[in-house]
Each structure stands twice: as structure tokens, then as C-alpha cells.
Structure 1
Amino acid sequence: MTSAIDTAALKPQHVGPVAATIGVVFKDERVLLVRRRNEPDAGYWGFPGGKIDRGETIMAAATREIFEETSVTADAVKTFTAVDVLDKDEGGVLRHHFVLIAVLCHWVVGEPVAGDDALEARWWDLDALDDAGLVMSFGVMDVVREGYALLHARQ
């Protein structure tokens, strides 16, 4: 007697890379950050963002994710860097590989209210961010600095 073998179960799990956006929004001398609700990096501070939907542009994904996670409306201006996120389990096995595409955005309207994938959403003063003692996702401060420099180079 033979039994059917589930060949799909024998294939390696897809681990990426998965394209996603992060929206880097400045208002005055403050930057918009969210505290993540979900893994990877649950509880860490980072930029609002998420996966790019099929058929969606990078810019549209950035503004959609900003609104879903913070209720802030922003205009996407320019992509400016990318960050690899390699999420591994305790044994060092890769679970997910995300490529986060940073999008510089101009604030249009709204004050942050946590929604969707965020535990908290708020503006952080740039001059106090280093000393705030926040647990941040990898590369956040580098992206803040690069985005801020780009913003002021464009003005």
C-alpha cells in the first residue's frame, strides 16, 4: 500500500528577499517613528512601513503604510537608501529576509495615532533622539541622518 507524499512540505520554506518600504517623514525638527507590534523586532522603534503589494509602486506603498500605521498623510518624494533585514531564529536559521527601501516623505497633515501594526506612533525630536534610550530596529539612526541630510540638501 502506498500513501501520497506532500511534496510541497519537502520544499524549502521561502525566506526572501521580500521588498518592503519604510516611510521617513520629517516635520519641523522631528521624525515620525512607530513602535512595532509584530515580529521581526516587536517592541522596537522604527519607521512606518511594510511589504509592497503586487502592482503597487514603492512610493504608493510608503504613503499607504504611513497612513495605516500612524493616520498621518504624507507625500512620497524620493527613494534614497535600502536596508537588509535578516531575521534569524535562535539557532541562526534564516526565517525572513526583507529589503527595506527608504522613501523620504513630506508631512502633509495629521498627528500620529498608532494603528494597524504599531503599538505606538509619535514624533521624536531629532536633537533628543540619540539620548532617548529607545530600543530601535537596525539602521534606524543611520537612515534618520541620511534622510535629514537629503531633506536639507533639497531645500
Structure 2
Amino acid sequence: MTQVPKIGALAVVLRDGEVLLARRRNKPDAGLWGFPGGHVEWGETALLAATRELHEETGIHAEPIDYLTNLDLLQHGEDGNVDLHYLLVGVACRYVGGTVQAADDVSDAQWFDVGKVLAKDLPMSARVPDLLQLALRSGFW
């Protein structure tokens, strides 16, 4: 059987100097803060997947603005072989409404001051500050 990477979409939502992050409940990043998101379903664009996953995980409604970047996530086992391979698509999303409420596969969701995230003052998934900085430079907000 041929293995192929899984595709995931990450919703990057900024509002009033804050960014929305979710604490993952499951592996591979259980207990870490990161952008809400998840699997892209068959026939669904990454733009739509990002906003769907955002709402499912946090209760927040947003409009997708545009793609920010792609990130490869590879995890290797003790034998050196790749055990996990995701292509994560960062999507800039404009906040529309809703109240944050953790659901689905996240244990918590909160708005954080952008400076706190950039200072790496939270236990976060790899490259969260980098993707946030890219979003801030994008000019979408």
C-alpha cells in the first residue's frame, strides 16, 4: 500500500491584537497550543476546511481570506522511518462572530495577546509563532 501525506488546514484568526489558539486533546500535539484546524475532507478546499474546523473546535465563525503558506509536518519513529506526514495549509481567516467554546478534539480555546505568542510564553506546536508572524506581515488585517 502506498502511503500519502494527509492534508490539514489551520485557521489563523486575529482580532484586536489577539490570536485564537486551541489546546490539542489528541496526538500528535496533545496538550500544546496551536491554530484551530484539522483534516481537509474530500471535495473540500483548504479554505473551507479551515473555517469548518475552526467552528467545530471553537464555536467561532470566520471567513477565509487567503492562503498564507504550507508547512510540512513529519514525525519519525525510533527506526528512523516516517510515522506521520501532514501537509498543513495555513489560512488567514477574518473573525465574523461567536463566543469561544472548546469542543471536538480540543481541550481549551482562548484568545491570546499576539505578543505573548510571539514571545513563546506558551507550550505551543512547532512553528506557531512563525506562522503568526507571517500572518501579521500579510497585510490581511
TM-score, normalisation: structure 1:
0.85
The one of 26, 51, 57 aligned to 1:63: 51
Match of 1:108 in 2: 96
Larger Rg computed on CA atoms? 1
Q: C-alpha separation between the residues in 1 aligned to 2:43 and 2:30?
A: 28
2:65–2:91 CA contact under 8 A, matched in 1: yes
Q: C-alpha separation between the residues in 1 aligned to 2:71 and 2:140?
A: 22
Among the aligned pairs, what percent are the same residue? Answer: 39
Q: C-alpha separation between the residues in 1 aligned to 2:96 and 2:131?
A: 21
Question: Structure 1 regions of 5+ residues with no counterpart?
Answer: 1-10
63-72 vs 90-99, which deviates more?
Answer: 90-99
Per-residue deviation, 1:96: 1.3
Over 6 Å off, 4+ runs: none
Q: CA RMSD for the aligned pairs?
A: 1.5
Q: C-alpha separation between the residues in 1 aligned to 2:75 and 2:53?
A: 21
2:98 aligned with 1:126: no
Question: Structure 2 regions of 5+ residues with no counterpart?
Answer: none
Per-residue deviation, 1:132: 6.0
Per-residue deviation, 1:127: 1.9
TM-score, normalisation: structure 2:
0.92
Q: C-alpha separation between the residues in 1 aligned to 2:140 and 2:58?
A: 25
The one of 80, 97, 107 aligned to 2:68: 80
Per-residue deviation, 1:92: 3.2
Aligned residues: 141
Q: What do the CA deviations read for 1:64-113 (whole angstroms, capped 9, x no partner)? A: 00001100000000001111111223443311100000000000001211
2:19–2:114 CA contact under 8 A, matched in 1: yes
92-101 vs 71-80, which deviates more?
Answer: 92-101
2:21–2:110 CA contact under 8 A, matched in 1: yes
Match of 1:28 in 2: 16
2:18–2:114 CA contact under 8 A, matched in 1: yes
Q: C-alpha separation between the residues in 1 aligned to 2:80 and 2:113?
A: 36
Per-residue deviation, 1:135: 1.3
Q: C-alpha separation between the residues in 2 aligned to 1:131 and 1:145?
A: 11
Inter-CA distance 90–23: structure 2 relative to 1 (3 Å threshold): same
